[in-house]
């Protein structure tokens, strides 16, 4: 039991550290609404496509996102990741859209 609790705490800490960047939070919020490609996510996160791609790769590598080719486009979705259950960031996505938050908090495009 102790070992399981420690492992759960480690995984939660890893996920929390991933969302220490506002661009990744806005990507998560945008994807909570529906699947998107990198260009749409860059627009929603007020970031460049290159910068957004780097964030997407990190989120995908940590198992938060999936990427699926649809024709010539790669579409990203939030995984049904058990460690994301109950994540407060996901519930905030229902309250604030990524564009609304970026505009209200003065976050500038990357």
Whether residue 43 is contained in a domain is answered as yes
Contact residues for 23 (Cβ-Cβ < 8 A; gap 6+): 45, 46, 47, 51, 52, 55, 110
Residue 59 lies in a domain: yes
Note whether 97 and 29 are within 8 A (CB). yes
Q: Which domain holds residue 81?
A: 2-104
Dump pLDDT digits (tens) for 42-73: 999 999 999 999 999 999 998 889 999 999 99
pLDDT category at 93 given cuts 50, 70, 90 is: low
Indicate whether 110 belongs to any domain: no
18 in any annotated domain: yes
SS3 76: strand
Let me know if residue 74 belongs to a domain: yes
User: Rounded to two decimals, what is the model's pTM?
Assistant: 0.72
Q: CA-to-CA distance for 34 and 30, rounded, in angstroms?
A: 7
Residue closest to 64 by CA, chosen among 89, 81, 46: 81
| Number of domains observed in the structure of the chain | 1
Give pLDDT tens digits for 21-35.
999 999 998 998 899
């Amino acid at each position: 039991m102790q070992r399981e609790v420690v492992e759960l705490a480690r995984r939660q800490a890893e996920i929390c550290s991933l969302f220490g960047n506002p661009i990744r939070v806005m990507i998560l919020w945008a994807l909570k609404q529906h699947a998107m490609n990198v260009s749409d996510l860059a627009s929603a996160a007020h970031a460049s496509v290159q910068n957004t791609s780097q964030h997407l790769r990190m989120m995908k590598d940590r198992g938060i996102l999936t990427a699926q080719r649809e024709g010539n486009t790669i579409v990203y979705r939030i995984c049904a990741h058990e460690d994301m259950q109950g994540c407060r960031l996901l519930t905030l996505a229902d309250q604030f859209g990524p564009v609304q938050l970026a505009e209200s908090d003065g976050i500038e495009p990357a």
